[in-house]
Amino acid sequence: AQAEQNRLKGLLEKLEQEKSTLQKEYKEVSKKVEAADQIMKTSGANMAEMQKKLSAVETEKDNLSSQLDGKTNQLQAAEAESKKLRNDLSLRDQANEALRAQMMDKDLERETAKAEAEQLSKKLLQAENQLLDIQKQKDKTSDEVKRITGDMNNLRDENK
């Protein structure tokens, strides 16, 4: 009977030790599950934040594209106006040759036309520079969209 009692005590101690080990393992697994849940929540928040950023960048890209179109139209209009003024200047110069008697009046008109042409040339140069700046910004925005899209894809791949 004493041997049976000792065997049962040993078995009970072994079972209590296994129970304690299982409880520790259960706590560790619970902690890991909580950590995984937290990572999933954080990833979801990061994904939402990146989606907002992507949306903002795409909106900015659309705005810049619209500005680029507007500046392109302005540039074309300025080029046409510049060509027209250059033609006008040429015609005025020819008229000045034919009308030497009215040379002073025509010289004034020619100088005015030259000033207008120079102003338009400056505007044209400014418009070209603005167009280049907008194109650079558009390229930068496109690169940012690609980078964010890649980041989002990487996050999706990590969460799978």
Q: Which CATH number covers residue 101?
A: 1.10.287
Q: Please tell me the total count of domains within the chain.
A: 1
Instruction: Identify the pLDDT of residue 66.
Output: 92
77-93 burial, b if ≥16 CB within 10 A, otherwise e?
ebeeebeebeeebeebe
- Full residue range of the structural domain in which residue 134 is found: 2-159
pLDDT < 70 positions in the chain: 96, 99-103, 106, 160
Give CA–CA dist 48/68, Å, rounded. Answer: 30
